[in-house]
Structure 1
Amino acid sequence: MSAARHVAVLLGGLSTEREVSLNSGAACAKALRNAGFAVTEVDAGADVAQRLAEIGPDVVFNALHGRYGEDGCVQGVLELMRIPYTHSGVRASAVAMDKPAAKLVFAAAGLPLAAGIATTAGEAAERHMMAPPYVVKPTNEGSSVGVHIVRPNDNRYPMGLTETWGPEKPVLIETFVPGRELTVAVMGDRALAVTEILPATEFYDYEAKYAAGGSRHVVPAEIPADVAERAKDLAVRAHGALGCRGVSRTDFRYDDAAGGAGLIVLEVNTQPGMTATSLVPEQAAHVGMSFEDLVTWMVEDASCDR
């Protein structure tokens, strides 16, 4: 790869997932340099358009997570600037980040889902809006930020989210699905593998995702072959239903007592973690692709208008 090919890596940003993005961006920048690219790291603040105009990259590698970087905002900036960029475009990013909107798309595509109700944190704190156990999550945050499980013996919705974001914060309430945590990476139109995530905490929350020893990954997941194939097929269908491009990752709950019918699509992450030990690079390594090869493919796949 010619070092003349200049890639700007967007990292950091303004969301609650800033630290995660800094780690992803640093890892991707290092791998891209090792692959022969000229790389400039850009901490994406409110002046990101000005910074990119000054730098003049050929391609942007979007390593942002959360709001402004994952929800169509920075993608819109890059479309206006006509700079090809990695991962999904404006529409797919915005819809995937809006959990109720994504559920409508998935339902129309016939994907298996948990029952859900879109409401606000304040309304959810007043009464049980569905029979416990259920999950309450912000509609537009990633990395399991602010997610709570409400158990049958809980008298009311836990107040942490209300205290953090206020009563008007939009939230999604979903039926709690028992079972195992599975995830499938999609690269282009190809599902890579199925990973089972074994969190050290109650569920795969922010701490389990990013703290040392917070979770263990089993790839390939030790599940029946037909269930693995169904999970991979559902991930490709979810990726396509949203109109994603590049790399995405679909998360599932799997109730193994129900076989293939026990797979439930939770969400699609259009900006999955991208350190060398993150879930997507682990699956790529499982199918014989190095981290450098993966990020190179993502740069070559970068575009606008999709």
Structure 2
Amino acid sequence: MVDISADRWVAVLSGGLSHEREVSLRSGRRLSAALRSAGLTVTEWDADGMLLSRLATERPDAVVVALHGGEGENGAIQSILDMAGVPHVGTDPSACRRAWDKPTAKAEISRAGLTTPDWVALPHSTFRELGAQPVIDALVAKLGLPLMLKPDQGGSALGARVVREAAELPSAMVGALSYGDTVLVEQLVEGTEVAIGVVDGPEGPEALPAVQIEAAGGIYDYAARYTAGLTSYRVPAELDTSSAEELAIAAHRLLGLRDVSRTDAIIDREGTAHFLEVNVSPGLTETSLLPMAIEAADRSLGGVFAGLIEQAISRGHAGRLA
């Protein structure tokens, strides 16, 4: 058990300028309230042009990144915090970059012999230079139907869409490419979607109880994620999730993630878990999955993150002594 000092001062970073700003603000508010309940002093900061000057003059004991999308997950803010010498909860910059880019993460997962749906990632320029229809025809010939399309980077299912007919592909491509320059096209695995939170403990990464996701419309899109009532959750899940838990821990270790992560997976009818993506800054809103899993484990959001804060501060002390 990590000892938690009651006089810790923590800055929670949220907001930013990504498409997920509003979700991030909600995550930051909830986490801040939970940390205050755990006895810490908390300041909420937006990730804006004042950040570096604040870090230089105010120097919190640690920073918790509650940013979603963009600089909050691609390693940029983490690099700034490292340069400023401020301990922070979460994954280091290089591993953030690997996890943030979905094709890169899937490639590493696949090379390690873990299961992930077959995929192709193509930049917008490919469709422009070679012609959209020939490329679409080649995709269908390679991967078949149905397909899942999503931006190669980003979260909250923004720009994601299931395609069951070839005629739907052009509009789905446009939707995905409106959130990035590259579209990830992968085979759609039919099954049960689950989310597995992983938290680093004294003995290494531990999987939290799996959250089983049942979206009313069948697709766990942005609206289903953040609109109360559109999705039902079962936690612990009502099926065998051992393969998904093993996959989440393996992904956490393989990609070099730290402190906390959430792996999204599909469990097919044979019980095999298929890696979809991993998130280094999971949502912490009222409808987010990680807090549900923490509660199902008979732990508190504030207690879990207070422990991670102490681990981050200890890493900072060790680094200065090295």
Same fold (TM over 0.5): yes
Q: Tell whether 2:220 aligns with 1:204.
A: yes
Q: Per-residue deviation at 1:55?
A: 2.2
Match of 2:198 among 186, 190, 198: 186
Q: Per-residue deviation at 1:122?
A: 5.8
- The DSSP-based 3-state class of the residue aligned with 1:209 is helix
Q: Which shifted more, 279-288 or 126-135?
A: 126-135
Report the structure, 1 or 2, having the larger helix content: 2
1:103 maps to what in 2? 106
Rounded Cα–Cα distance in structure 2 between residues aligned with 1:109 and 1:183: 21
Give the TM-score of the pair, scaled to structure 2. 0.87
Listed as ranges, the gaps of 5+ residues in structure 2 are: none
Could you give the per-residue CA deviations for residues 131-186 of structure 1, whole angstroms, max 9, x where no partner exists?
221111111111111112221252542154277358xx111110111111111111
Could you give the per-residue CA deviations for residues 202-240 of structure 1, whole angstroms, max 9, x where no partner exists?
31111111012121110111113xxx2221111100110
Rounded Cα–Cα distance in structure 2 between residues aligned with 1:160 and 1:118: 14
Rounded Cα–Cα distance in structure 2 between residues aligned with 1:141 and 1:292: 26
Q: Per-residue deviation at 1:123?
A: 4.1
Q: Per-residue deviation at 1:84?
A: 0.7
Match of 2:263 among 250, 258, 270: 250
Rounded Cα–Cα distance in structure 1 between residues aligned with 2:98 and 2:176: 24
1:148 maps to what in 2? 161
Q: Tell whether 2:236 aligns with 1:220.
A: yes
Match of 1:292 among 274, 293, 302: 302
* 1:255-294 matches, cutoff 5 A: 255-256=268-269, 258-259=270-271, 261=272, 263-275=273-285, 277-294=287-304
Question: CA RMSD for the aligned pairs?
Answer: 1.9
Rounded Cα–Cα distance in structure 2 between residues aligned with 1:122 and 1:26: 40
Q: Which amino acid aligns with 2:291?
A: P
- The DSSP-based 3-state class of the residue aligned with 2:178 is helix
Listed as ranges, the gaps of 5+ residues in structure 1 are: none
Q: Which shifted more, 97-106 or 39-48?
A: 39-48
Q: Per-residue deviation at 1:91?
A: 1.4
- The DSSP-based 3-state class of the residue aligned with 1:208 is helix
Distance 1:160 1:283, change over 3 A: same
Rounded Cα–Cα distance in structure 2 between residues aligned with 1:269 and 1:98: 10
Q: Which shifted more, 273-282 or 175-184?
A: 273-282
Q: Per-residue deviation at 1:292?
A: 1.9
Q: Per-residue deviation at 1:96?
A: 0.6
Distance 1:51 1:201, change over 3 A: farther
Could you give the per-residue CA deviations for residues 223-281 of structure 1, whole angstroms, max 9, x where no partner exists?
13xxx22211111001101100111111111222x23x3x2110111111113552112
**Identity over aligned pairs, percent:** 40
Rounded Cα–Cα distance in structure 2 between residues aligned with 1:301 and 1:207: 35
Rounded Cα–Cα distance in structure 1 between residues aligned with 2:177 and 2:112: 36
Match of 1:114 among 117, 140, 143: 117
Contact 1:121 / 1:162 at 8 angstroms: preserved in 2? no
